Every structure is written in C-alpha cells, then in structure tokens.
Amino acid sequence: MNNMHKAGFISIIGKPNVGKSTLMNQLVGERLSIITSKAQTTRHRIMGIVNGKLNDQEFQLVYSDTPGIIKPMYELHESMMEFVHGSLEDADVVLFVTDIFEKYDEEDVIKKLGKSDAPLLLIINKIDLATEEQIEEKISHWKTVLNPREILTISALNGDGIEGLFEKIIFLLPQHPPYFPKDALTDKPERFFAAEIIREKILQNYKKEIPYSCEVVVTEFKEEEDIIRMYAEIYVERSSQRAILLGHKGERIKKVGTEARLEMEEFFQKKVFLKQYIKVEPDWRLKKDKLKKFGY
C-alpha cells in the first residue's frame, strides 16, 4: 500500500474576481516542492504543481486553468492519446469558485458543470465578509441550482477552510503515478515549461508522425538581466525526420523557433534568445537511459 501514489489534474474555474488566484496561492503557497509558472495570470495553463505527502499518502497535484493542453511526460504514447481531449472531462477534480455575493445566473454554465465527469467541489469564497445567515443562504441556493459533490465555504484571504479543501482534493485524487517528473520540475521548472512550449509548436506545425517521434530538451537556460538565453535540442529518431523538421533551407524549424520564442517571451515576461539544434537519436523512445537524460 505504501508505494501507492495519487496524482491528478485540478481545474480551477470561476468568474473574474471571485478569488481564484488568491485561492491558488493558498493551496500552493505554504506547501513545499512546488512550482508555479513565473507569470501567474489565468492565461497560462499550469498554475502550479504540488508534490507532497499527507498521512503516508504521496501525491502530485497539478493545478490548471485549461486542463489537458500540456501533456504529461511520463509514458509518451498514452499521454498523447489521453490528453488530446480538452475541457472539463480532463480534470480529476473541478473547483468551481464563487463568492458570497455572486448571483450566478448563467444557466448554460451551470448545465455544463452539472455534466462534468469529474467530482465538482463548489467553493463559496470570501466568507470573512458575510454573516452566518448569508452563508447558509448561499449554501442552500447552490444546493438547489447545482447540487455539487460538496460545497465548501472558505476565505482564501485569511486561509479559513483551506486545509479542509486541500485534504478533500487529495481524497478525491485517483491512484496514479506522477505526471511530471518530481525532481526535474523542482530543479528546473523554467526549462521544463520552455521545452513544453517548443513541443507544442512542433505539434502545431507538423503532421502527426513528427511530433510523436521527437523530444525536446532545453539544455541551457541562462537568465540575464533583460534576456533569457536558451539552447534547445530536438531529438528525432531518423535523419528523414530531421529533414522534415528542418524544411527547405531550415524554414520550417525556424518558424517553430519564432513562434516558441514569442510565446516564451509572454510566458516569462522577458526577451528570449532561442537556439535550436536537431539531433538524430535512433529509437530514443525505447532507451530508458536516454529518457533519464531527458529528465524523465
């Protein structure tokens, strides 16, 4: 039993200003071995990853605001297949954040939430601003319109109810190996996100065969005062794939590089210099030691 591991994607949704970011900070903030992406706006996909242990239960929580886009890295094939479909169905737990004042009359949203496969926790935030009666009223309101798995009342601002919510999330997580390498992430989160961005651009720019047979490793990541200098190696299995990746006079890979760089600059909020190298590594997928080198 001890070596069982829980892992899953937690999707945080809700209207602007209900306290999603504040809640995220509470859920991620005090717990160790965590990463949050540098730019913490809701545009970004992964808001935070928490690795930890609760009563002998090891876990990895992946908080995200648009689940299913960044693919888990362990077991390449499965991850590709499993995480293509977006939306609510990809989350293992959905936190629907509302606040105490909110009048939620978007019926379509409610309907959609009602259909979510994942357990839905309805969070009523900002209870520090409300009376007992107001809180009770809100709870019964939500029971009538949505009847979620559970309703939790919290104050993300002062931390009320956060511990209970955290434990609830872990309880609901499925048994699953970690999606993201624990060490690599805590070590070099920026590299990891940079490599993911390049991978995504490759996925968008080439037909199936290429993206599935290549791997991206950011080998150098030097952050200077006003620029980040990055070197990335893109591994393919055959030289024919290298030729496709390159394109005529290297135009195609150059396009990937430009698109990746622009997104990185937005992500890191800094100018980025990116140099990409394509390397042929036959059957890299089969080679465990190679995978290790890649940080899996």
Residues that bind ligand GDP (CB under 6 A): 14, 16-22, 125-126, 128-129, 155-157
Tokens standing for residue 68: 């299913």
Residue nearer to Mg ion on the CB measure, 43 or 111: 43
Q: Tell me: is residue 282 an annotated ligand-binding position.
A: no
- Check whether 68 is labelled as a binding-site residue: yes
To the question of whether residue 127 is assigned a binding role by annotation, the answer is yes
The two tokens of residue 107 are 């019926």
Q: Which does 45 bind (CB under 5 to 8 A by kind): Mg ion, ligand GDP, none?
A: none
**42 three-class SS:** coil
Could you list the residues that contact Mg ion (CB under 5 A)?
20-21, 42
18 labeled part of a ligand binding site: yes
124 contact choice in Mg ion, ligand GDP, none (CB below 5 to 8 Å, kind-dependent): none
95, 123 contact by CB (below 8 A): yes
Annotated ligand binding at 177? The verdict is: no
Among ligand GDP, Mg ion, none, what binds residue 126 when CB lies within 5 to 8 Å by partner kind? ligand GDP
Does the annotation list 168 as a binding residue?
Answer: no
Give whichever of 15 and 222 is closer to ligand GDP, judged by the CB atom.
Answer: 15
Angstrom distances, CA of residue 116 to CA of 11, 36, 104, 144: 11, 26, 18, 17
Residue 36 touches which of Mg ion, ligand GDP, none (Cβ within 5-8 Å per kind): none
18 binds, among ligand GDP, Mg ion, none (CB under 5 to 8 A by kind): ligand GDP
Nearest alpha-carbon partner for 279 in 249, 260, 258, 253: 253
156 binds, among ligand GDP, Mg ion, none (CB under 5 to 8 A by kind): ligand GDP
Nearer to Mg ion, 62 or 253 (CB): 62
Indicate the residue among 128 and 187 with the shorter CB distance to ligand GDP. Answer: 128
Tokens of 35: 């990463």
Judge whether 21 is annotated as a binding position.
yes
Strand ranges (E), the chain: 5-14, 34-35, 46-54, 57-64, 93-99, 120-125, 150-153, 215-223, 227-236, 271-280
Residue nearer to ligand GDP on the CB measure, 89 or 128: 128
CB of 68 to Mg ion, least distance (A): 20
207 by DSSP, 3-state: which? Answer: coil
The two structure tokens encoding residue 233 = 């190696």
- Tell me the HSE value of 150 on the side-chain side, using a 13 A CA sphere: 15
- The alpha carbon of residue 122 and the mean position of all alpha carbons in its chain are separated, in whole angstroms, by 20
Amino acid in position 111: K
For ligand GDP, the closer of residues 126 and 199 by Cβ is 126
Q: Look-up: residue for tokens 């306290």? A: 19
Question: Binding-site residues, please?
Answer: 14-21, 65-69, 125-128
Q: Which residues sit in the known binding site for GTP?
A: 14-21, 65-69, 125-128
